[in-house]
Amino acid sequence: MKYSFFLGCNIPARLKQYEFSSRAVLGRLGVELVDITDFNCCGYPLRNIDFKASILSSARNLALAEKENLNMIVLCKCGFGMLKYADHLMKEDPSLKNEINTILKKEGLEFKEGVEIKHLLTVLYHDVGIDSIKEKITKPFSELKIATHYGCHALRPSEIVEFDDPVNPTLFDKLVEVTGAESIYWQLRLDCCGAPLFGSNDDLSMDLTEKKLSNAKESGADYLCDACAYCHMQFDTVQGMISNVRGGNHLLPAILYPQLLGLSLGIDGDTLGLGMNQIDITSIKGFLLE
């Protein structure tokens, strides 16, 4: 199993623990990662402004992966959704593909057949497999209740992203449960984290985040688990800002899925960057069975 490793813009700059923990976990599970330093922005943040520019950005990444003949692992769900969307359009619309390829050819790149775009979670679920992960779990969690946050751009539009059943997804829950934790049911689990509006309408964005966090907490969660750069910054950094701005006591720390899985695989907290989260999550180690 060999993939090109798409990190996007936020992870190397602001969320290194997601990269560190993913590398550690994927390495442990025998997935080989190839870094393509030339990868650029996935195009997601530009979609409001200029659709074609966003498709071009995505297409360049896909062409770079195709040049190396490697499928792609994406960590961020917004990036995953954008790349899948661009891939879909490039295949559906020959004139757009032509137009984009004319630009890409200037630097010797071309989107031909495209590559398979996978999210970290789909690689773990489909390619590594729940059973092989289970075999490697050395320190399962017990009595740990996790609110599993799916992330919009992985689930929808379902006919394009093909991640899981958009109405009743189970993939992420199963991945959480393989660590020994319980993935609880909560009403807002498929809703948006609020990140797309943070920075342009903070009040609304914070409303949505706060609602989700309260709902997860009321449903009995000890931690929220996510697997997306934007979702995690929202549930970690922005949650901290919400507490400062609005007060209240709805603190529900968020953990990245590879951090959760890594701990149950026996990888130490420093390698997984546990201390790099804004809200302290180190006490989650207390749920590990020795």
Partner 1 sequence: MVYNISLYICLAIFIIGLVYKISRWFFLNVSADSKKTDASKRFPSAIKGIILTIFSAKFFVLVKVFFLDIIFQRKIFKENFFRWLTHMLIYGAFMLLLLMHALDNFITSSLFAEYSPTINPFLFLRDLFGALVIIGLCMALYRRFILKSPRLKTNSMDNYAIIILAIIMVSGLLLQSTKIGSWSIYSQMVEDYADSTDPEDIKPLTTLWVKDFGIVSPDIKAPFDTEIIEQGREIHEMSCASCHSRPQWAFVSYSVAKAIKGIALGLDKARIHTLFWYIHFLACFIGLAYLPFSKLFHIFSSPLSLLANSVMDKKESGPANIATRQALELDACTHCGACTSHCSVGIVFEEIQNPNILPSEKIQSLKRVVSKRELGEIGLRLILDGTYMCTNCHRCTDVCPAGINLEDLWFNVREDMFQGDYPEFSALSPLSFYRGLMRDAIPQDDYKRPLLQARESIAANCKLMKDQDKVAILTPVDKELQGSMLLSDQASTFSNCFGCQTCTNVCPVVANFDNPKEVLGLLPHQIMYSVGLGIKDLAFGSNMLWDCLTCYQCQEQCPQGVKVTDILYELKNLAIKNAYKD
Binding residues for partner 1 (CB under 8 A): 9-10, 12-14, 40-41, 44-53, 56-57, 60, 78, 85, 88-89, 92, 103, 106-107, 152-153, 155-158, 160, 166, 191-192, 194-202, 204-205, 207-208, 211, 230, 233, 237-238, 241
**Closest distance to partner 1 from the beta carbon of 32 (Å):** 24
The 10 Å Cβ neighbour count of residue 13 is 10
SS (H, E, C) 122-164: HHHHHHHHHHHHHHHCCCCECCCEEEECCCHHHHCCHHHHCCC
User: Given the complex with partner 1, which of 42 and 124 has the nearer CB atom?
Assistant: 42
Shortest Å, Cβ 30 to partner 1:
30
CB of 70 closer than 8 Å to CB of 62: no
Distance (Å, whole) CA 53 – CA 55: 6
Q: Least separation, in Å, of the C-beta of 135 and partner 1?
A: 36
Rounded (10°) CA dihedral 216, 218, 219, 225: 20
Q: Which is nearer to partner 1, 104 or 288 (CB)?
A: 104
Closest to partner 1 by CB, 199 vs 275, is 199
Report how far residue 240's alpha carbon sits from residue 140's, in angstroms, rounded to the nearest whole number: 29
Instruction: Choose between 28 and 67: whose C-beta lies nearer to partner 1.
Output: 67
Please tell me what DSSP assigns to residue 45.
G
The minimum distance between CB 216 and partner 1, in angstroms, equals: 15
Shortest Å distance, C-beta 289 to partner 1: 37
By beta-carbon proximity to partner 1, the closer residue of 47 and 119 is 47
